[in-house]
Structure 1
Amino acid sequence: MTLLYTHDAADGHVNPPGHPEQVPRRRAVLDALADLDLDRRSAPLAAASEVLRCHPQTYLDRIAAAVPAEGWTALDGDTTLSPGSLEAAMRAVGGACAAVDAVLDGQDDTAFVVMRPPGHHAETQMAMGFCLFGTVAIAARRALDHHGLSRVAVLDFDVHHGNGTQDLLWNEPRALFASTHQMPLFPGSGAASETGAHGQIVNRPLRPGTGGEAARAAWDDILRRVAAQDPELILISAGFDAHADDPLANLNWRSADFAAITRAICETAAASGARVVSSLEGGYDLGALGRSARAHVEALMEYRA
């Protein structure tokens, strides 16, 4: 069936006018999924201890102290806080962790977390790229440390490199992190030479203009490496800004490409009996975001571990 975690608190994270990471992004995804038979659940508020799996207390305290009573606090040129931002980000983490708990408990084989702000640019002690906490990396650490898994794969097909996830998992031998992303493009990381402290990071940068056929081939190559890891859980950073219509980048994927890549991920998961949890990252053309997210979720719904 696929579990769907979301919460209206996500709409309390309000960026300034003209910012691409806008409140209607979540509604665009939910509207596109409205008629699908999903097990819809509320994303819970994460305990601070979950954030501390990846970020130090000093960082969490700094973010909390910067939340304004009204208006915005700018953390950098791209990343802002509004009065509802901390709850939104904590529920994004809570939703991802709850999804991991549920699939590992056998409640379903797949889950999709529709929350914002996104998370894959947040480094150990730095918010950036619209992101506050490393949501998917935190969920990976929960699977490893709370559930006792030995092998987790984190796969990121957002058009921007997940520098934060890479930073948070750089020294973690139990977690394979793999990414396709446009290069050159923000944040500037993600060269193939960046392989992690244990050789467990796989970066496949793509040239501007790369279309779906080349993207699928890149993921086929990556998934051979994932299959060799024999993961017990696969986490997806599901950004849909590689779509040809997206205004922030220059790849030429279509909704069918996201579906095909998701099916390939699920086929790899099936060989290991792994569950799959996906979490929304980027995607800034609302129409393309909705269509691509639906294609992704329909592929998740087909999977049986």
Structure 2
Amino acid sequence: MTTAFITHDDCGLHNMGPEHPESPVRLLAIKKVLEKTGLMQELEQLESVHILPEQIQLAHAHLHQKRLEMKLPEHGVVYTDEDTALCPHSLHAASLAAGSAVMAVNRVIAGKSQNAFCAVRPPGHHAEHNIPMGFCFYNNVAIAAIHALQQPGIERVAIFDFDVHHGNGTVDIFKDRPEVLVCSTFQHPFYPERYSDIQRDNIINCPMEAHSDGMVFRSLVEGKWLPAIQAHKPDMILISAGFDAHHEDPMADIKLNEEDYRWVTQMLMDSARTYSENRLVSVLEGGYNPVSLAFSVQAHLEVLAGH
């Protein structure tokens, strides 16, 4: 078995304008680096499928999708908040992004793929149960986690989020679902400033001060995430893989590098081997310097593929 690389060209149709950091260039940069290094040829390349409406409702309010559809413009962009805009193709792309995560879960549980990475956009981890925000419309990883829990043999899931922004949407959706462990490192105080101080046994928030480096990050992961994994013993691991904590990323002030992403990926791979029968799915979140994003994804995928 190989690592599945799931994406779709139509994820590039979601376009919030030429100055917006969450740009179609992000996925193009990833593909270019993976092809140039030869890593792409080692991966199982698969095309995304659309999410079903009832699968969106696994993590979101019944009318969440309908409200977004009502705002969808025929041309131009319409903002749902000051950072997040819909263009005519946005929900088409969002459906493929969420569908990729469900597809990845199905393949890994069925033993068709060793593990999977979803190179998709728009991202998802800021989308709350009833609110799109922070460039996100559907919470891809949350939908995938609940879908996984519906499969035989999957009773506990763990989500690990190393994006520089707190995964408030994922926390909102799972704050009262103890079968899902949510561990998150993030710059604080910083956007979105929601749910970062929530107190729940299954929510492990690990705030980092601006300018924190890889030593701080690794210390938090070892000190907070590892004991939580050992206590939870997940049947499946999901990753909200944001690479905007890289020191070259323009969006924040954390100082990680490719080796930090390689290290945390290996730690999560080891945990999946110990507790989850190697079942692991990673879904792209942030990362807004196309060059550092692409090389960080390369490091992440090299570990997933067993390099």
Q: Which category of TM-score, normalised to the shorter sequence, fits these structures?
A: over 0.9
| Whole-angstrom CA distance in 2 between matches of 1:165 and 1:16 | 26
- Please tell me whether the aligned partners of residues 102 and 147 of structure 2 are also in contact (alpha carbons under 8 angstroms): yes
Cα RMSD over matched residues? 1.2
Name the amino acid aligned to 1:246.
D
SS at match of 1:57: coil
**Which residue of structure 2 lines up, in the alignment, with residue 282 of structure 1?**
286
Name the amino acid aligned to 1:22.
S
- Please tell me whether the aligned partners of residues 232 and 274 of structure 1 are also in contact (alpha carbons under 8 angstroms): no
Q: 2:246 aligns with which of 223, 232, 243?
A: 243
**Which residue of structure 1 lines up, in the alignment, with residue 63 of structure 2?**
58
User: Are 2:46 and 1:44 aligned?
Assistant: no
**Which residue of structure 2 lines up, in the alignment, with residue 5 of structure 1?**
6
Name the amino acid aligned to 2:59.
C
Give the structure-2-normalised TM-score.
0.95
* Range that drifts further, 256-265 or 29-38: 29-38
1:195-227 CA deviation, whole Å, 9 max, x = no partner?
Answer: 33xx11100000111111211121112122112
SS at match of 1:288: helix
List gaps (5 residues or longer) in structure 1. Answer: none
Name the amino acid aligned to 1:170.
K
Matching of residues 69-80 of structure 1 within 5 Å: 69-80=74-85
- Please tell me whether the aligned partners of residues 178 and 203 of structure 1 are also in contact (alpha carbons under 8 angstroms): yes
**Which residue of structure 1 lines up, in the alignment, with residue 104 of structure 2?**
99
| Whole-angstrom CA distance in 2 between matches of 1:32 and 1:65 | 38
**Which residue of structure 1 lines up, in the alignment, with residue 134 of structure 2?**
129
The structural deviation recorded for 1:32 is 1.9
- Please tell me whether the aligned partners of residues 127 and 134 of structure 2 are also in contact (alpha carbons under 8 angstroms): yes
| Whole-angstrom CA distance in 1 between matches of 2:234 and 2:301 | 21
User: Are 2:95 and 1:90 aligned?
Assistant: yes
Matching of residues 263-278 of structure 1 within 5 Å: 263-272=266-275, 273-278=277-282
Q: 1:298 aligns with which of 297, 302, 306?
A: 302
| Whole-angstrom CA distance in 2 between matches of 1:214 and 1:168 | 28
Give the structure-1-normalised TM-score.
0.96
List gaps (5 residues or longer) in structure 2. Answer: none
Name the amino acid aligned to 1:262.
T
SS at match of 2:186: strand
User: Are 2:113 and 1:113 aligned?
Assistant: no
- Please tell me whether the aligned partners of residues 190 and 205 of structure 1 are also in contact (alpha carbons under 8 angstroms): no
Name the amino acid aligned to 1:241.
D
**Which residue of structure 2 lines up, in the alignment, with residue 18 of structure 1?**
19
Matching of residues 196-235 of structure 1 within 5 Å: 196=200, 199-221=201-223, 222-235=225-238
SS at match of 2:75: coil
- Please tell me whether the aligned partners of residues 44 and 95 of structure 1 are also in contact (alpha carbons under 8 angstroms): yes
**Which residue of structure 2 lines up, in the alignment, with residue 257 of structure 1?**
260
| Whole-angstrom CA distance in 2 between matches of 1:187 and 1:56 | 20
The structural deviation recorded for 1:190 is 4.9
Name the amino acid aligned to 1:228.
A
The structural deviation recorded for 1:57 is 2.3
SS at match of 2:274: helix
The structural deviation recorded for 1:147 is 4.2
The structural deviation recorded for 1:230 is 1.1
| Whole-angstrom CA distance in 2 between matches of 1:224 and 1:170 | 19
SS at match of 2:23: coil
| Whole-angstrom CA distance in 2 between matches of 1:81 and 1:227 | 41
Name the amino acid aligned to 1:257.
D
| Whole-angstrom CA distance in 1 between matches of 2:186 and 2:167 | 9
- Please tell me whether the aligned partners of residues 161 and 240 of structure 2 are also in contact (alpha carbons under 8 angstroms): yes
Name the amino acid aligned to 1:44.
V
Counting matched residue pairs gives 300
| Whole-angstrom CA distance in 2 between matches of 1:204 and 1:181 | 7
1:75-110 CA deviation, whole Å, 9 max, x = no partner?
Answer: 010000011101100011100000000000011221
Moved over 6 A (4+): none
Name the amino acid aligned to 1:270.
R
1:44-65 CA deviation, whole Å, 9 max, x = no partner?
Answer: 0111111010112211101111
**Which residue of structure 2 lines up, in the alignment, with residue 166 of structure 1?**
171
- Please tell me whether the aligned partners of residues 159 and 240 of structure 1 are also in contact (alpha carbons under 8 angstroms): yes
* Range that drifts further, 269-278 or 72-81: 269-278
